[in-house]
């Protein structure tokens, strides 16, 4: 019985530490022990003990005392201590691969990206390159006294909970057992779809200190995230958590049908959103390039340059793609009942202008309008957001189980 009571006390302490860390990450500014106790519902004595544990572990530090406008002693706020804990993000995408390390402050401790056409590559060769890229970063963090607590891996395909990449059509990969690769085993990587990882990067306070520029959604908001590359991925976030679905496939908006007799999609069906609004589809429809050449960075750069120059053919293609986006987004929004959409990937280049156009066209398509309104934004984390989300996935392991790492050397 004594052993059982000891285990329960440790579990409770671990939970309370997690609650305190979550509260500190979500806070818009450093917060005192007294205010933390009020916010979390913990007693002042319990909060004081937990704060001491976090300070002794180098995870939290005391800020400068704040003098109150009323009578009483100055309060000493607590704040996240950067550089002590890190999560590593890994990504393999159609246009390259890379790694990135983040601390709890959201500061980048190291990163590297190699731009390369990944279509038709060998998974073993690419993971070997990713391993060789990541190991020196791990070594640098260790020398700095920074503990790596976890890692995430973003992939442009369907990833199962047991770490199989079922298919990544735009890479040409199928049925890849991710646990075979050394970097995955060494870092105990959690893998996921790149769109879901990118969505995590948009959630303020998910696993890093809330950044001032993350002001589009709040920590517990619900939204749909669209990630547009060669194909189109998507994620549904409900109350600040990514919805995975029964098999991890939730949010695959790119393969919603927007035209029953539309063009052939890479998935083998006709009329998918991806066949109208994916990068390859846009470039081919504008007559800039075809087949493999249509996925090159040069082709999409030409497409964007012509759009900015007011090219009528490109403008027509973008307008048709916007109609397809409206159809798919409206179906998704009406199904899951959220009021916010974030446009990631390629569509970030079109800025707020496209967001405003889509928002206007969506109004007549949303059930319950005008009582139910829809907001469309270009997300604040736009460059390699999946890398950031993957790193936060690694950091989240520490947030959810701090005692599992605080005692390690």
Q: Give residue 333's Cα distance to chain centre.
A: 20
Question: pLDDT tens-digit profile of 304-352?
Answer: 999 999 999 999 999 999 999 999 999 999 999 999 999 998 888 888 8
Checking if the pLDDT of 409 tops 50, the result is: no
Q: Return the pLDDT at 248.
A: 79
Mean pLDDT throughout 288-298? 83
Give 297-308 as a DSSP string. HHHHHHHHHHHH
Global pTM value = 0.90
Q: Return the pLDDT at 70.
A: 60
What are residue 60's phi and psi, to 5 degrees? Answer: -125, 150
Mean pLDDT throughout 35-60? 93
Degrees to nearest 5, angle at CA 126 with 124 and 129: 110
Mean pLDDT throughout 89-93? 97
Q: How confident is the model at residue 6 (pLDDT cuts 50, 70, 90)?
A: low
Percent above pLDDT 90 for the chain? 62
Checking if the pLDDT of 66 tops 80, the result is: no
Question: pLDDT tens-digit profile of 341-386?
Answer: 999 988 888 888 889 999 999 988 988 777 888 899 988 766 789 9
Run of H or E including 250: none
Measure Cα distances from 357 to 23, 232, 239 in Å.
37, 19, 26
Checking if the pLDDT of 1 tops 70, the result is: no
CA atoms of 388 and 152, how far apart (whole Å) = 9
Measure Cα distances from 253 to 51, 106, 162, 286 in Å.
43, 29, 23, 23
Order across the sheet with 232-238: list the strands: 241-242, 232-238, 223-228, 340-345, 375-377
Q: Return the pLDDT at 228.
A: 85
Q: In the chain, what are the domains?
A: 2-80 (1.10.10.10), 85-212+385-406 (3.30.420.40), 223-377 (3.30.420.40)
Q: Return the pLDDT at 68.
A: 65
CA atoms of 66 and 283, how far apart (whole Å) = 56
Q: Give residue 49's Cα distance to chain centre.
A: 33
Order across the sheet with 77-80: list the strands: 31-32, 77-80, 60-62
With H, G, I as helix, E, B as strand and everything else as coil, classify residue 383: coil
Percent above pLDDT 70 for the chain? 95
Give 262-287 as a DSSP string. -PBPTTS-BSBTHHHHSHHHHHHHTT
CB 26 within 8 A of CB 104: no
Q: How confident is the model at residue 215 (pLDDT cuts 50, 70, 90)?
A: low
Q: Return the pLDDT at 95.
A: 87
CA atoms of 94 and 279, how far apart (whole Å) = 11
């Amino acid at each position: 019985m004594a052993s059982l009571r000891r285990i329960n006390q440790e579990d409770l302490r671990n939970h309370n530490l997690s609650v305190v860390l979550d509260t500190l990450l979500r806070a818009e500014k450093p917060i005192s022990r007294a205010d933390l106790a009020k916010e979390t519902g913990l007693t002042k004595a319990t909060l004081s003990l937990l704060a001491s544990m976090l300070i002794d572990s180098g995870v939290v530090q005391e800020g400068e005392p704040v003098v109150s406008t009323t009578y009483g002693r100055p309060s000493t706020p607590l704040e996240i201590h950067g550089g002590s804990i890190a999560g590593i993000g890994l990504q393999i995408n159609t246009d390259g691969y890379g790694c990135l390390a983040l601390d709890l402050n959201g500061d980048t401790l190291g990163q590297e990206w190699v731009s390369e056409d990944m279509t038709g590559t060998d998974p073993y060769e690419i993971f070997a390159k990713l391993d060789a890229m990541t190991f020196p970063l791990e070594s640098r963090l260790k020398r700095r006294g920074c503990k790596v607590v976890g890692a995430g891996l973003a992939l442009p395909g369907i990833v199962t909970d047991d770490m199989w990449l079922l298919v990544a059509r735009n890479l040409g990969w199928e049925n890849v057992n991710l646990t075979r690769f050394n970097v995955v085993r060494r870092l105990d990587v959690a893998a996921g779809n790149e769109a879901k990882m990118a969505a995590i990067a948009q959630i303020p306070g998910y696993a890093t200190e809330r950044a001032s520029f993350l002001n589009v959604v709040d920590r517990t908001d619900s939204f749909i995230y669209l990630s547009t590359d060669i194909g189109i991925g998507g994620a549904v976030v409900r109350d600040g958590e990514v919805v995975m679905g029964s098999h991890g496939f939730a949010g695959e908006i790119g393969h919603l049908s927007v035209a029953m007799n539309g063009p052939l999609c890479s998935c083998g069906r006709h009329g998918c959103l991806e066949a109208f609004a994916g990068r390859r589809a846009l470039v081919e429809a504008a007559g800039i390039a075809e087949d493999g050449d249509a996925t090159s960075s040069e082709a999409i750069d030409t497409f964007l340059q012509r759009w900015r120059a007011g090219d009528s053919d490109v403008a027509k293609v973008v307008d048709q793609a916007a109609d397809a986006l409206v159809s798919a987004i409206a179906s998704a929004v009406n199904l899951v009942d959220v009021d916010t959409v974030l446009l990631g990937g390629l569509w970030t280049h079109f800025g707020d202008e496209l967001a405003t156009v889509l928002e206007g066209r969506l109004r007549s398509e949303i059930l319950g309008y005008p009582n139910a309104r829809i907001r469309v934004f270009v997300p604040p984390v736009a460059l390699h957001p999946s890398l950031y989300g993957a790193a936060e996935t690694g950091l989240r392991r520490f947030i959810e189980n701090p005692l599992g790492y605080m005692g390690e050397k």
